[in-house]
Amino acid sequence: MLVEVLCPVAAAAGVLAYGVRGRSSTLLGPSIWKGPSTRKAIALTFDDGPSESTLDLLRVLERFGARATFFQCGHHVRRLPRVAVRVKAEGHEVGNHSDSHPSFAFRSPQFIYEQLERAQTLIADTTGVTPTLFRAPYGVRWFGLAAAQERLKLMGVMWTTIARDWKLPAQGIADYVGPKVRPGSILCFHDGRELVHHPDISATLGALEILLPKWLAEGYEITTVSGLLTDPGAPSTP
């Protein structure tokens, strides 16, 4: 009898865990985690910025002609509006990463909506571009997120591989991420560290110095999430 009771509970818990953290889950909101494999392109993404270190990252990306999507927190956009504008001005894509980077687990739908809406409005007012993409802090989705995304016209973005660049050294990041890259991969790095001011992202920068020339030599196009999802061979709309 106990087994008959526990099995459905365990199954429900497993479904919930997948919905909350599963990279391919769309149970709690529309989301993508990879692009098409028919084109040799990958999307670089950076979370938790902008930060004082973002300008160093922009210089690395520019040197290799790479474009990326930056999921920005409202907290940091308020601190560093010029850096947020610089990201957009250099041809990168700006996405929504919530206002203050909380975990959404067990939060109310109103709390979740306010986190997205505050960041959405601030990013639009600061950069002149309204985000169309959103990444949940820590990759945690929760009930109410789908409605918030619908109201704000946001598509969720998870990742194919997360770089673990907040804890690994540069070579360790490169060794971890490199073998996992395939056409269509969405890669998650960080140009900030949650709400930390003046974060040290030297390991991230060092890893990119190793990985970017390697990917280019292998023939990869390094682009934004939207660029990855757009077929360059499709006819343009007049």
Q: How far apart are CA 130 and CA 94, in angstroms?
A: 8
48, 99, 190, 191: which is the annotated catalytic residue?
A: 190
Q: How many helices (H) and strands (E) does the chain have?
A: 9, 9
Nearest to 55 by CA among 93, 84, 28, 32: 84
- 56 catalytic? Reply is no
Nearest to 80 by CA among 147, 140, 126: 126
Residue written as token pair 């030599």: 217
Residues in Cβ contact with 34 at an 8 Å cutoff, skipping those fewer than 6 apart: 160, 184, 185, 186
Residues in Cβ contact with 82 at an 8 Å cutoff, skipping those fewer than 6 apart: none
- 92 catalytic? Reply is no
47, 48, 99, 191: which is the annotated catalytic residue?
A: 47
Nearest to 62 by CA among 41, 81, 89: 89
Catalytic positions are 47, 190
